Amino acid sequence: MGEKLEAVPDEPRSTKMCNTPREHSYNAGIAAERAAPHSSIERSASRPSIIIDTPPDGGARAWMVVFSTFLVVMNTWGVANSFGVFQPYFTRAFSRPQSDVSWIGSFEVFLLFFVGTFTGRWTDMGFFRPLFIAGFFLVILGMVAASFCTTYWQFFLAQGICLGLGNGCLFCPCMAVTSTYFAKRRSLAFGLTAAGAVVGGLTIPSMVRQLLPRIGLGWTIRAIALIQVVTLIVAGLLIKTRIPPRQAAPLVEWAAFRESEYSLYAIGAFMCFWGTYFAFHFLAAFSRDVLGLSYTDSLDLLLVLNGAGALGRIVPAQIGDVIGTINIFAPMAFMTGTVMFCWIGVQNTTGLYVWTAFYGFAVGGVQSLFPSVLSSLTTDPQKQGTRMGMVFTVVSFASLTGSPIAGAIIDAMGGKYVGAQAFAGCCMMLGMAFVLSARICKTRKMGAGTFAFIKV
C-alpha cells in the first residue's frame, strides 16, 4: 500500500536533491502544494488528493473485500439470474402471458441498477454501512414475504420491488468499495466478484429443482432466504471502506456526461443490457415450448448457462487487466450478439445445450467487464460510487424493458421466438458499436490514432 504523505509545514523549502525515500516523499508533497492554489480554503480542498494513498492491489484486507462482494453478488445477481426457474411456474400458476410474468424479474433487476445513483453517492458520502444494513433487511423481508404470496401482484411487490430495492442497496455500494482497493488488478477483482452470480445461479436452480416438488414453493423460497441471511451477515462483517467520505458533491455529476467516452459507453451499456437478460428469463420456456423438454430438464439449461458464465467472468477479466477493459469488452459484446443470432438456428436438445454454454461464456464476460470499464473511466477514487451509480441508473431502464419487450414479441408472433431472438441480437451489436465509439474517443484523448491498439 502506498505511503501516506505528511502535512507540509509553512517554512522555506529546500531545493536540494533527495537521496532517501523519506526525503523523496517529503519533496513530492512540497511539489504538490506548490502546484495547488495558496488560499487556505483551496489548499484544504486539494489536500485529500495528496494524502490519499494508492490502491493496495492486493493484501488480506483487499481480498476479504473481494470475497464479501462475491457473497453479495451471489445473493443479488445469483437470484436475479435464476428468475427463469420461476418464470414458467408463475406463467402456469397465474395463467398470465410470459410478457406479464417477466415484469417481476425485470423490475427486480431494474431497481438493482436504478437506485445506483442514490446509493453510489451515499457511499461516497460515507453511508456505506447504513446502506448495507438496509439492503440486508429489505432482501430478507422480500424473500420471506414472497414465500407467503399467492397472487401475481403479491409476488410483484415482494420479489420485484422489495427484493429489488434491497439488491440495489447492496450491489452498487459494494462494487464501489471494491474498486477503491484495486488499480492494476481491478478487472480480475471484479471478475472474481462477478463469479458470485455463477455460484448463486447454480445453487438456486438446483435448490428449486430438488425442493419444489417435495416441500412446495413457500418453503423452497424460505430455504433460499436462510442461505442469504448467513452469507450476507458474513459479507457485512468482512467488508470495510478505504476512502474517506466526500461531502461537497452533487447527487449526479452532470459534467461526466460531457466526457464523450463516458456518454457513449453509457449508451452502449444500455443497448447491451437491453438484450442480455432475454435468455436468462426465456431459455427454460423455449426448451419446453419449442423442443418439448420437461420442467425439470429445462432447469438443467439454466445450470449450464450460469456454469459456463464462470469462465466468461474470470478469463476476459484477466485479459482486460493486460490489454485494457474496453479492448476486451467490445469483442465480448460482439460474441454475445453473434451467439444470440445463432440461437435462431437451434432445432434440437443437443444444439441447445451447446448454444447455452457458448452464450453463458460470452454474456458472462459482458456482465463482469461492465463495471470494470466504468471504473477505468473514473480517475478520482472518491467519485467511483457516484459515476458508477449514474450509469447503473441508465442501464436499469434497459433491464426493466428488455425482457417484457421480448415477451411481447413472442406473444405477438404466436409463440415463435425468432423475433425476440433477433431483437436481443441487434441490441448487443448496437451496444458493441457504441462501446467501440467510446474507445475511439478515449484513444484520441490519449493522443493515439483512431485505430491504434493501446491499453484502454
Domains of the chain: 1-53 (no CATH), 60-445 (1.20.1250.20)
Name the nearest CA neighbour of 90 among 78, 81, 103. Answer: 103
Cβ 166 vs Cβ 141: under 8 Å: yes
Rounded to 5 degrees, φ, ψ at 81 are: -70, -15
DSSP 205: H
Distance from chain centroid for Cα 175: 8
* Higher-pLDDT residue of 199, 53: 199
Min mean pLDDT across 159-163, 219-223, 446-450 is at 446-450
pLDDT in tens, 276-331: 989 988 998 899 889 999 888 888 898 899 888 888 888 998 898 889 899 999 99
What pLDDT does residue 66 have? 96
pLDDT computed for residue 12 by the predictor:
41
What type of residue sits at position 317? Answer: A
Residue 248: per-residue pLDDT = 64
What is the pLDDT at residue 50?
Answer: 39
pLDDT for residue 42 is more than 90? no
Per-residue confidence (pLDDT) for residue 336, from 0 to 100: 96
336 vs 102, higher pLDDT: 336
If you average pLDDT over residues 224-243, what whole number do you get?
Answer: 95
Of 163, 187, 192, which is closest to residue 82 (Cα–Cα)?
163
pTM confidence score: 0.77
Please check whether residue 406 is in contact with residue 420, taking contact to mean a CB–CB distance below 8 angstroms. yes
CA-based nearest residue to 298, from 401, 212, 217: 212
pLDDT at 125: 87
pLDDT tens digits along 81-100: 888 888 878 888 888 887 78
Per-residue pLDDT band for 267 (boundaries 50, 70, 90) equals very high
Output the average pLDDT for the chain: 84
Average pLDDT over residues 116-120: 83
Of 5-14, 143-152, 318-327, which range is least confident?
5-14
- Predicted pLDDT of residue 279: 92
Q: Who wins on pLDDT, 313 or 252?
A: 313
Angle at 342 between CA 337 and CA 346, to 5 degrees: 145
Confidence label for 53 from pLDDT (cuts 50, 70 and 90): low
**Residue 169 clears pLDDT 50, i.e. is over it:** yes
Query: What percent of the chain lies above the pLDDT cut of 90?
Result: 48
